[in-house]
Structure 1
Amino acid sequence: MKRRRFLLVSSLLVAWLGLMPPLQAQPLSAPQAAGQLLQATPAAQRGALLLPFTDAARSDWHYTPRRRDGVAWKAMSPAQRDATTALLRTALNESGLDKVRALMALEIALRQLEGSGSWRDPENYAVAIYGQPGAGGWGWRIEGHHLSLHFSLAGDRYVATLPQFFGANPATDPRQGFRLLGTEEDLARQWLASLTPAQRGHAVFSSRPFGDIVSRNAPHARPLDAVGLPFADMDAGQQARLLKLVAAFADHLQPDLAQARLARVRAAPLDGIRMGWAGSTQAGQPFYFRIQGAGFLIEFDNSGGNHIHSVWRDFDGDFGRDVLGEHYRSAEGSKHRHRPPTSP
């Protein structure tokens, strides 16, 4: 059902772009897909597409309309668009790809609702590659208004799929009733509705939301205040609803990547997780919720009532910092261990 909704809205984008890249007969690996994108990119564009694999370059991200590093969809040839879609498919399942297309299509909806001319551009979404695909540590991202997805790899192996940002404006399209992030909101409201009055008194920690996600676009995510209802104070059904909600924030990924992310959540004691709510508990009114564990943070903000920002951050694993850092430390140690002795 959800995929049909995404397909309905993303068909608007397909009509706009006149393009629906076909499925590959044999799925490509991430290095293969990135290599095809590089090969399809003219020399004059490669400097924009291929960026250094540095913390400073990769952690410069945002979710507002602005110029992006990388090559924008509108500047790509059909061959580049096909290769980009193949790269997306190495990390995203088909529902995830539909979700990205539907998010891009919301720019058309905004253009029509606001009468804002070219300011809202469904093709202003850029792909950037960091480092050399397949060689040691490298990564890639797709980013534009309300979308910022980051992927880090060691060789051909994904080691991180965070940070992750999805937004939606309008959150509910008044003309079609489409809700890009409706599943996440509905699951959160189901959890909230299951609480006893005493539990709700702990869960709702503020009568007003914050105007945006609190973590914003910080290069390094830090734990926020420990607010809301602790996991240990929920009954089994409420705990299951909360974990289902957490999983919904990863359901756009290929199954192995979603499972790896959720395994990180479960690696720390679940009793350390809290979920808190701020703002109105009435549908259609401004609200915010936060799920925070020992190693991760999920925020969902609808401070305007019909404009959502959502993010998932990992305190140690954003941009694959923990895994790749350990990889480089091990490689450096091995190099020293095997270094030939110097002459006295």
Structure 2
Amino acid sequence: MVALRQRGNAPTRKPDVWTPDLLEKVAWRVKAANEPFRGVGTSAGIRPGLFPLRSTGADVRKVYRAAEDYLAGLTDEQRAEGRFPVDDVSWRHWNNGARYFLRHGLCLEALDDAQRASAMSVVRESLSADGYGQMVDLMHLNLTVGELSGNEDGLNEWLYWFSVYGEPEKGGPWGWQLDGHHVNVNCVFVGDQMVLTPSFLGAEPVTAGSGKYAGTVAFRREEALGHELFTDLDAGQRERAVIADVLPKDLFAGAFRDNFELDYHGLSLSRMSPGQRGTALQLLGLYVNRAGDHHARVRMEEVLAHEGDTHFAWAGDPDGTFYYRFHSPVILVEFEHMPGVIFGNDHPSRRHIHTIVRTPNGGDYGADLLRQHHERHHAKRTTNNPDGRV
């Protein structure tokens, strides 16, 4: 039987009975997370050497300071519950869905106002204004779900778990994770380098027609630009881009698929016209530019360096619901219209959207950067001093 550990006093919405079905759901997730991390790759294996350890010139003082302030504002007990080693397996326990199992860290709902604001400051200093605004909108839409379903206790804007990894106050590698329904963001800093994947963002509904956050809208630009890019392709290009007539059941590289194998399919950006390429890069920018300006520029340079190996794939009906993705050695973006959960529709609709961004070939969670950091700064110390002392 799977050992079920609920950390701390944060609300976890535990079921009254752990049925065999629930236990099975937990078991396969634990098994997947415990697999040695490889990263999303192709059938040819993992391609090494794509993410050199280097200085980007980014000014990260504000985000480091925000993390220090957040930790300083916690009690000893809270720090013990909300902080983990930088290589802790709980990085890989994020999951979309209003679930209670495998949650860890501190629930924002359980923090006082100052602590909650301090946690959100860490997130804000890591992201661009648009990236932060989008994430907050999705948290607000989670309350909209609660209002529509009459379940604000189980679906609200603060039912998200925040975890800090590593020791930002010592200047070493560190990061944070925000984990809850439709918002699962992992952010790692190694020096002034930042990795912002895996990042899963979704919404149902994508528009709040009523309630506290009436008027909030999500993913319309990602949807519209994806539609524009596909419909601008000629017949031959569409034939290359289309990978299926119907949508997949879910995103290929979602939660607990850190080692997923996915080969390149679709239309290469090199086969697009200059105008189509411009639309493709604008669409990619919506995902890349969730990071702060400097880190977004560095990331886009990384993506453009592999433009010739970047593929755009499509499934579905441009006049209805659809799926698209970008896939290269350094980035994987997926967008999909989903069936209803709150709403009763069994088939995909534009009211429910999932997206994910990953860094293939070992880049997720900053894993490859952390490996290089350890080899450069700690391997010799460990070899010369088995007891770990300098």
Deviations 1:261-307, CA, capped at 9 Å, x for gaps: 21221232x1211111111211xx33111110122211111132121
Is 2:163 aligned against 1:128?
yes
- Helix, strand or coil at the partner of 1:307: strand
For 2:264 and 2:310, locate their aligned partners in 1 and report how far apart those are by CA, in whole Å.
9
* Contact 1:111/1:120 (<8 A) preserved: yes
Unaligned runs of 5+ in 1: 1-26, 340-344
Matched, 1:93 2:128: yes
- 8 Å CA contact 2:137–2:216 kept in 1: the answer is no
TM-score computed with the length of structure 1 as normaliser: 0.83
**Structure with greater helix percent:** 1
Amino acid at match of 1:255: D
Call closer, same or farther: CA 1:297–1:221 in 2, change over 3 Å: farther
Correspondent of 1:35 among 47, 68, 85: 68
What percent of counterpart residues are identical? 27
Instruction: Name the residue aligned to 2:111.
Output: 76
Summarize the Cα distance change of 1:227–1:177 in structure 2 as closer, same or farther, 3 Å threshold. farther
Match of 2:181 among 145, 152, 158: 145
SS at 1:211 equivalent: coil
- Equivalenced residue count is 310
Pairing 1:4-15 to 2, within 5 Å after superposition: none
Which residue identity lines up with residue 276 of structure 1 in the other structure?
A
Equivalent positions of 1:235-246 (< 5 A) are 235-246=273-284
Pick aligned residue for 2:266 from 210, 228, 240: 228
Q: Alpha-carbon deviation of 1:52?
A: 2.1
Q: What does 1:310-321 correspond to in 2, within 5 Å?
A: 310-315=355-360, 316-321=362-367
**What SS is found at the alignment partner of 2:251?**
coil
CA 232–124 in structure 1, closer or farther in 2 if over 3 Å, else same: same
1:336 shift after superposition: 7.3
* 1:204-256 CA distance string (max 9 Å, x none): 22111112111121352445232221212211111111111111112222101
Task: Tell me the residue number matched to 2:222.
Answer: 184
User: Residues of 2 paired with 1:93 and 1:312: CA distance?
Assistant: 16
The answer to whether the Cα contact below 8 Å between 1:51 and 1:130 also exists between their aligned partners in 2 is yes
Q: Secondary structure at the match of 1:291?
A: strand
Q: Match for residue 3 of structure 2?
A: none
Amino acid paired to 2:116:
R
Alpha-carbon offset, residue 338 of structure 1? 7.8
- 8 A Cα contact 1:150 1:163, kept in partner: yes
2 CA distance for matches of 1:63 and 1:260? 28
Give me the whole-angstrom Cα distance separating, in 2, the residues matched to 1:123 and 1:215. 26
**Cα separation, partners in 2 of 1:236 and 1:122, compared to 1, 3 Å:** same
Task: Please provide the CA RMSD for this pair.
Answer: 2.3
1:64-100 alpha-carbon deviations (Å, 9 max, x no partner)? 1123311111111122122112211221122222222
- In the other structure, the counterpart of 2:205 is 170
1:1-344 matches, within 5 Å, as: 29-67=62-100, 68-135=103-170, 136-155=172-191, 157-174=192-209, 178-218=216-256, 220-268=258-306, 270-282=307-319, 285-303=320-338, 304-305=348-349, 306-315=351-360, 316-335=362-381
**8 Å contact from structure 2 (residues 142, 203) kept in 1:** no
How has the CA–CA distance of structure 1 residues 173 and 199 changed in structure 2, closer, same or farther, with 3 Å as cutoff?
farther
Kept in 2: contact 1:184–1:248 (CA 8 A): yes
- Larger RCO, structure (CA 8 Å, separation 6 or more): 2
User: Are the counterparts in 2 of residues 134 and 154 from structure 1 also a CA contact under 8 Å?
Assistant: no
Which TM-score applies when normalising by structure 2?
Answer: 0.74
Secondary structure of the 2:168 match is coil
With over 3 angstroms needed to count, the CA separation of the structure-2 counterparts of 1:45 and 1:219, relative to structure 1, is: farther
Whole-angstrom distance in 1 between the partners of 2:288 and 2:282: 10
- 2:144, 2:156 within 8 Å by CA — same for their partners in 1? no
Counterpart CA distance in 2 for 1:177 and 1:212 is 27
Asked whether the equivalents of residues 163 and 178 of structure 2 are also in contact (C-alpha less than 8 Å), the reply is yes
Do 2:186 and 2:196's aligned partners in 1 also have CA atoms closer than 8 Å? yes
